[in-house]
Structure 1
Amino acid sequence: MTDRGILSSLRYLFADFIGEDDDDTAPFLPEGLPEPVTAVASDAIHLLIDYQGPSYARLYVHRLRRFIGKQGVDDAMLTEIARLMAVRMSYEDPIRIAQLKLAELDGRPAGSTGSVDVRKLRLDELIGALPAVVAEYVLDALEWMGWAHKSVPIRFSTASRFGIRRLKIEAGLRRWRLLSVRYAKERVWVERWLHMIDRSLTKQPQAASAMIHTATMIVGYGEVYRQGMADWNAIIDGLAKPTFDGVLALPDLAGAVAEARAAAMPDPRQMVLKRKIAEIRARVPAGSPTVVPSS
């Protein structure tokens, strides 16, 4: 992650936290945004305002602006960056699950009894949604006891006044989300994903679309989220980054990424995926030039 990316994220974090621009005004779409992308970007802005607030939506616009008019980025590619970045920036944490559950009340018929969702969340996910100043000590203790990855069933209920009150408390933690352990990790991931897209456009443009769509590997919460994040890092560290660094001469990085993704399985040890990455790397002829062609 670049220093500029860190500073930008922190600037928007503290603007939201101290209420510098805490209003309902949506940020403007970035100047020069192609017309085919405007609907996706506009929907994303409103989603992220609901998710976190106006300054968080401005961070989205700031990130999207990097790719407007960039060589090699056509309207379809920019649309996918806009769409997938919004999905990733509205990641599912306990706060978001509570927000979405509360939203069901708006369309609930009078006299209905509500409903209960039970989600299996890991303890480190639950604690990771809290401000880091509190969460880090608790996470250290959970790691020491070997409980950090333990899954627990959590009820999200609109079926009683107590359940609704609890949802409102959980959703109210939104104000602290940008100070959480989870947000710090997500901020780094988004910046690294964007950086990989940037590097692909420079080093191997034909693989840029594959880099963009690696974002779909990371979804949901719990073990599915953890597995997707681990697999993404394995593919980036094993194939993409070495290619961009000139260490690995993969002439078809997009094909290699697709092959590796097909080998990813729900296995915490990643045995099949790691074997596939090693196999792909072994196919590169010894003494191959380290400069990957840009055309």
Structure 2
Amino acid sequence: MDAEPIKIAILAMGGEGGGVLADWVVDLGESNGYFAQTTSVPGVAQRTGATIYYVELFPGADLPGARAPVLAQVPMPGDVDIVMASELMEAGRAVQRGFVTADRTTLITSTHRVYSIAEKMAMGDGRVDGDQLLGESRKAARRCISFDMAAVAADSASVISAVLFGALCGAEVLPFNRQQFEHTIERGGVGVKSSLKAFASGVERARADPVTTLASDAPGLRDAAAAQARHPEVARLLAHAQRFEKSVADTAVEGIRRLIDYQDVAYARLYLERLDALAAAKGVDHLLLSETARHLALWMSYEDVIRVADLKTRASRFERVEGEASVQSGQVLQIDEFMHPRLEEICETLPAGLGRWLARPHAVNRIAARLTREGRVVRTSSVRGFMLLYLLARWRRGRRSTLRFELENRRIETWLARLCNLAGIDPALALETARCQRLVKGYGDTHARGLGNYECLMAVVDRHAHRLAPASLKALREAALADEHGHRLQALIAQWALGAPAAN
């Protein structure tokens, strides 16, 4: 027999129905005269756990005296006919592993992103460029069908596997008609109505086969001229921001919105006052002011325990989680928050004097340290858990009195004073110094490591401001971003002899 099996690889993350999709493909084949075999290779905890399902279909099962073929158990590079990916990075992994080839493979992928742990943990912006990832995937495949399947699944109150199954039908790469696909879903007997709706949408989008482009991962800034506000004080702040050059004004408007949401109107006013002071300094140009406006807004909205509690108790967050979990009427959603605040974060959330006292070594400090060794699970879907975080979020009214606010405010003022001084010496060096704020982000250990690297860089700048090249500071910053523990940064500082002079 000269027939060849149809080889299909399905790459999906946990909770997306990858196993159901593989079972549908197997049932589709077996119900229509094909031998079918499926295997799965679970991956490690990438996001929610990535699994490769491999299916082979071989014709002739309905022929008299047919003998079962020997089918492969895993996909081989360069030998896969159809690759289906539930998320764009999974498509990229399939291309990287050689499963997608230009001479034979049809690639069917969703264009949405679920960022990996490695992307989230990066000290800088660790996100992979989605447009580039999609472009490379399209170039690698014989044919590529791509659209946002997660959005289609959400609109259908279904899961992405049903959309992928529909896209597989619409691609017309299997020897089965649409009715045979639909009967496969109906035989499953679970969530048939919503699955058929998602399937139909997948068929239509695949047959349209549009050339897909992605919007930039970073949200676009609103035009400052279009900014409107009903609150008179907010309107005055927005009007003040529009006095800056347009690129600065756009960033400043977003900064105002962010800081009002984070704290209050007075805090946003302080943000503009700081920008005004920098703008008046000698040597400050629009680029430096624009970069500082962005990084200042980020720094002033630092992530503390109060901010985390606020975000976790917002109605919009519960609505988003319910949508992602596809909660149906009558179902109960349980949300557990895994939290592990360090003793330092507890001290910094208290009023400054009390926080400094608790941070000193004494009996109460030791008791508090023991209590924070273990993490805590807070169920925000319960009244008790929700109220615990809700009351903590309301402490933002007292944020200005906390030790963390005092520390961050002092660091920000020192940073701004340094920028004003450097602008008069070397504006390009001041610009690179402003961008070093990227190192200070997150909370807990992430914040501590980033702050340590930042302070190390600022010590270099302060010691060598008159001879340090902007390109050198940029290289040092990139080294710090590439290694959160600072090993690369320290090695580069030693190589360039930029460390502190040895004590006599």
In the TM superposition, residue 142 of structure 1 has moved relative to its aligned partner by 6.8
Matches for 1:21-170 after TM superposition, within 5 Å: 25-26=233-234, 28-29=237-238, 30=240, 32-68=243-279, 70-105=281-316, 108=319, 113=333, 115-141=335-361, 145=366, 147=369, 152-155=374-377, 157-170=379-392
Alpha-carbon distance in structure 2 between the residues aligned to 1:260 and 1:106? 38
Number of residues of Structure 1 aligned to a counterpart in Structure 2: 252
Tell me the equivalent position of 2:446.
224
State how far apart, in whole Å, the 2-side matches of 1:274 and 1:24 are: 50
Q: For residues 226-260 of structure 1, what are the alpha-carbon distances to aligned partners after superposition, in whole Å with 9 as ceiling and x for unaligned?
A: 011111111111x210123x5xx33x1x2222232
1:279 partnered with 2:495? yes
Q: Measure how far apart 1:104 and its partner are.
A: 4.0
Once residues 204 and 155 of structure 1 are traced to their aligned partners in structure 2, the CA distance between those partners, rounded to angstroms, is 50
Deviation of residue 151 (structure 1)? Answer: 5.9
Give the alignment of 1:156-195 within 5 angstroms.
Answer: 157-195=379-417
TM, length-normalised to structure 2: 0.45
TM-score under structure 1 length normalisation: 0.75
User: Is 2:259–2:301's contact at 8 Å kept on the other side of the alignment?
Assistant: yes
Taking the aligned partners of 2:357 and 2:410, their CA distance within structure 1 comes to: 21
Structure 2 segments unaligned to the other structure (5+ residues) = 1-230, 323-328, 500-504
Go from structure 1 to structure 2 and tell me whether the alpha carbon gap of 1:255 and 1:35 turns closer, same or farther (over 3 Å shift): closer
Amino acid at match of 2:361: A
Q: Which residue of 2 aligns with 1:243?
A: 464
How far apart, in 2, do the equivalents of 1:260 and 1:142 lie? 39
Q: 1:266 Cα deviation (Å)?
A: 3.2
Conserved? CA contact 2:278–2:416, under 8 Å: no
8 Å CA contact retained: 2:479, 2:489: yes
Larger relative contact order (CA 8 Å, sep ≥ 6) = 1
Structure 1: which amino acid aligns with 2:389?
A: L
Matched, 1:198 2:420: yes
User: CA–CA distance in 1 between the matches of 2:462 and 2:373?
Assistant: 33
Runs (5+) with no aligned partner, structure 1: 1-22, 284-295
**In 2 relative to 1, CA 74–119 (structure 1 residues): closer, same or farther, beyond 3 Å?**
farther
1:287 maps to what in 2?
none
Task: Tell me, in whole angstroms, the C-alpha distance in 2 between the residues paired with 1:72 and 1:233.
Answer: 24
The verdict on how the C-alpha distance between 1:272 and 1:79 changes in structure 2, with shifts beyond 3 A counting, is closer
Contact 2:282/2:420 (CA < 8 Å) preserved in 1?
A: no
Q: For residues 255 and 498 of structure 2, what CA distance do their matches in structure 1 show?
A: 41
Alignment match of 1:215 (pick from 437, 457, 469): 437
Provide closer, same or farther for how the CA distance between residues 152 and 91 of structure 1 changes in structure 2, counting only shifts above 3 A: farther
SS of the residue aligned with 1:113? Answer: coil
Deviation at 1:88, TM superposition (A): 0.6
Shift of 1:91: 0.6
Residue 71 of structure 1: CA displacement?
Answer: 4.8
Structure with larger Rg: 2
Alpha-carbon distance between aligned partners in 2 of 1:33 and 1:156, rounded to the nearest angstrom: 45
Matched, 1:260 2:480: no
Higher helix share: 1
State how far apart, in whole Å, the 1-side matches of 2:290 and 2:373 are.
36
**Matched residue type, 1:176:** G
- The AA in structure 2 aligned to 1:197 is L
Q: CA deviation at 1:155?
A: 4.1
CA distance in 2, matches of 1:175, 1:24: 21
- Cα displacement string for residues 172-197 of structure 1 (whole angstroms, at most 9, x for unaligned residues): 11111111111111011111111221
